[in-house]
Structure 1
Amino acid sequence: MNISYYLDTLDRFLIYLLVALALFAIATYIFKLITPYSERKLIKSGNIAVTLKLLGKMAGVVVVLQSAIRHSINLLDLIIWAFIAIVIQIVLHLVIEYGLTRKTNVTKEVENGNTAVGLLLGGVSVLVGLIVAATISY
């Protein structure tokens, strides 16, 4: 084991980690902006449906970020791929949530605590994240 290699690359690890965490926070904040209700307030009151939906969105973003990290050739490449993937993740989330479920007001269902709908939307976010993550490659 060559410990000097790890010490020499520790700075790059920390930079990638901080950038990935910042991108995660940005993506989560954007999702918060497009959500018509206060997730924090509903989670605090015990709404499991909102919790499942938010966790799914966050997990979908993490899957996308880990793929961008794995496939990037440098820090700028990571940031570009991450932003592209996050935008696609958000657009696909909106299409699925509002386009494919027109006959059901899924936003109201989740806000009212419908756990099945929250789990479905959270799960779809993870699945979409897996698909988007798989497309990031060279």
Structure 2
Amino acid sequence: MDILYYLQTFDHFLIYLVTSFVLFLIGTFIFKWLTPYSERDLIRAGNVAVSLKLLGKMAGLVVVLQSAIRSSINLVDLAIWALIAIIIQVLLHFVLEHAFTRNTNLANEVEKGNVAVGLFLGGISVLVGIIVAATISY
């Protein structure tokens, strides 16, 4: 075991870690920005549906980011693929959300605490994240 190798590459680890967290925060902010209610306030009030939806979105982002990290050849490549994947994930989430539940106002249902809807939407985000992550693996 060559401990010197790990010490020499530790800076790369930190750079990728910080970059990935920033990209994660950007993706989470985009999802929160597109949500018509305050997720923070509703989670504080004990709304499990909102918590499940947000957790699913975050998990989907993490799946996409891990694929971008594994597939990237440098930091710029990571940022480009991660941002493309985040945008695609947001768009696909909304398309699937509306395709499966056209006659239901999902935002209102989640805001009211409908756990089934929150879990469904969070699950869609994870599934879309897995698909998007697989497509950026080259």
Q: Normalised by the shorter chain, which TM-score bucket?
A: over 0.9
Q: Once the 2 structures are TM-superposed, how far is the Cα of residue 99 of structure 1 from its aligned partner? A: 4.2
TM-score (normalised: structure 2):
0.97
Deviations 1:18-54 (A, max 9, x none): 0000000001001111000000000000000000000
Mapped partners of 1:29, 1:22: distance in 2: 10
Mapped partners of 1:130, 1:47: distance in 2: 26
Q: Once the 2 structures are TM-superposed, how far is the Cα of residue 102 of structure 1 from its aligned partner? A: 1.4
Q: Once the 2 structures are TM-superposed, how far is the Cα of residue 95 of structure 1 from its aligned partner? A: 1.3
Identical aligned residues as a percent: 70
Q: Once the 2 structures are TM-superposed, how far is the Cα of residue 100 of structure 1 from its aligned partner? A: 3.4
Q: Once the 2 structures are TM-superposed, how far is the Cα of residue 118 of structure 1 from its aligned partner? A: 0.3
Write the letter of the residue equivalent to 1:97.
Answer: E
- For 1:24, the equivalent position in structure 2 comes to 24
Q: Which moved more, 1:118-127 or 1:88-97?
A: 88-97
Deviations 1:95-124 (A, max 9, x none): 122343211111111000000000010011
SS of residue matched to 1:63 = helix
Give 5+ residue unaligned stretches, structure 1: none
Q: Which moved more, 1:119-128 or 1:91-100?
A: 91-100
Write the letter of the residue equivalent to 2:85.
Answer: A
Correspondence 1:70 to 2:70: yes
- For 2:39, the equivalent position in structure 1 comes to 39
Q: Which moved more, 1:89-98 or 1:18-27?
A: 89-98
Give 5+ residue unaligned stretches, structure 2: none
Mapped partners of 2:101, 2:55: distance in 1: 20
Q: How many residues align?
A: 138
Write the letter of the residue equivalent to 1:38.
Answer: S
- For 2:3, the equivalent position in structure 1 comes to 3
Mapped partners of 1:93, 1:124: distance in 2: 7
Q: Which moved more, 1:92-101 or 1:25-34?
A: 92-101
| Alignment RMSD | 0.8
Deviations 1:60-119 (A, max 9, x none): 000000000000011111001000100001111111223432111111110000000000
Mapped partners of 2:71, 2:94: distance in 1: 26
